[in-house]
A and B are shown apart, each in its own frame.
Chain A
Amino acid sequence: MKILRGAIIALMVLAIVGPLVWVAMNSVKTNTELFGSPWSPPKVLAWDNFSRGWNEIGARSFVNSLIATVATLVFLLPIGAMAAYIFAKFPFPGRGTVYALFLGGMMFPNFLVAIPLVLLYRDLGLLNTMHGLVLAYVAYSLSFTIFVLTGFFQAIPEELREAAEIDGGSPSRTFWTVMFPLVRPGLVVVGIFNAIGLWNEYPLAMVLLSGENSTLPLGIASMAMAQNYRADWTGLFAATLIAMVPVLIVYLKFREQLQEAMVAGAVKG
């Protein structure tokens, strides 16, 4: 039993770490070596793959991705938390329906609205702008954010709100000074999941941005398409690795809090 469990875990680790290692390994090979022996470790370290990869995707798309992800989170987390707080703590007529509508958004593939969205954005003058992209990202990420945070707010004992109310807190002051800090584990969870999703987001960026304005996934995708005519696969591997690094850093930074939140999922006094 123990051996079987170990084997299953080992297989899962291999499935997750394997591709990562493979990409890292191939990102420092030469193109000839890559095709000659794709599974063996590199003999010569070809670091210039990274400069080629970086130039190809462009610093601009890296920065754009960074802006899109960070700006989205800056708006998304407070807005999502405020909505989730209301859903969790304040019963009002039609609450269930409104909540269900929000959750319904999670089941709606975003490329289904791509065409109406493009038309709408064109009329509003938001097409091919970063703030337009951020707006769409915030809207699309709200369902998941509200869904997760509602659970966290529900776990906060009612007495804390009442205590703050008696202490003299207005509803907004109570929210920002007591409730918002208490769902920090939840904010970390939705923050990381959204960050990963947004960093890798392709379809919306694809239809809303064009030309100079591109994000990292767009840059890498166009690079991959270019491989039909050119053969710089190792440069592509290097670019992919560059794209992965920020996400890995964020994950490693918040790993403990993430695990804590997954296990506890509640705030205890």
Chain B
Amino acid sequence: MENPHDMKISRRNLLKAGAASATAMGTAPLSAARAAGAGQREAATVTLHVNGKAHEMALDLRTTLLDALREHLRLTGTKKGCDHGQCGACTVLLEGRRVNACLTLAVMHDGQQISTIEGLGTPGALHPLQAAFVRHDGYQCGYCTPGQICSAVGMLDEAARGMPSHATASLSERPLLTPEEIRERMSGNICRCGAYANILDAIEEVAEGKA
């Protein structure tokens, strides 16, 4: 396994080898190799822990975390908007922190914990932010909503840990979640329907409840 370029094996055997090496060697140094199949496809065996459940998948190395969630695990709550990190529709929580699932490869997160909108609440027991978005009508078409809510979960945690933002007046004091702070901290999530006023109200309500 020292040099991935030397491996000339079938795709079927490659996947078996990947599983075996993962058991024997943990994640280091390699969980991916080049197969000699048609079109020189490059693949890897990846285990993602999504919403508390482990999923082992054979993935093309080019698979983003977003595509792994949507196309392989059929967790389509996480949306693909721009696919370039500009809109935030794909926001998920990676090891508890909000990230753009479109801007990272699934293979880079072997063994890590991911929470998506499907893991936050159920129709019968909504997450407080989901309930607040419903109450305040924090959407029109709803396409950006899962990303908005996952982002808001991460944002409230960042604020609770005292992380500053561009809107924070003094870096020596704990930031307070004023409307200006919430707007700035949510700027990575775009709503083309323009439901920002109600999104802000929903998040503010939950933030105040936590304060």
Do the two chains bind?
no
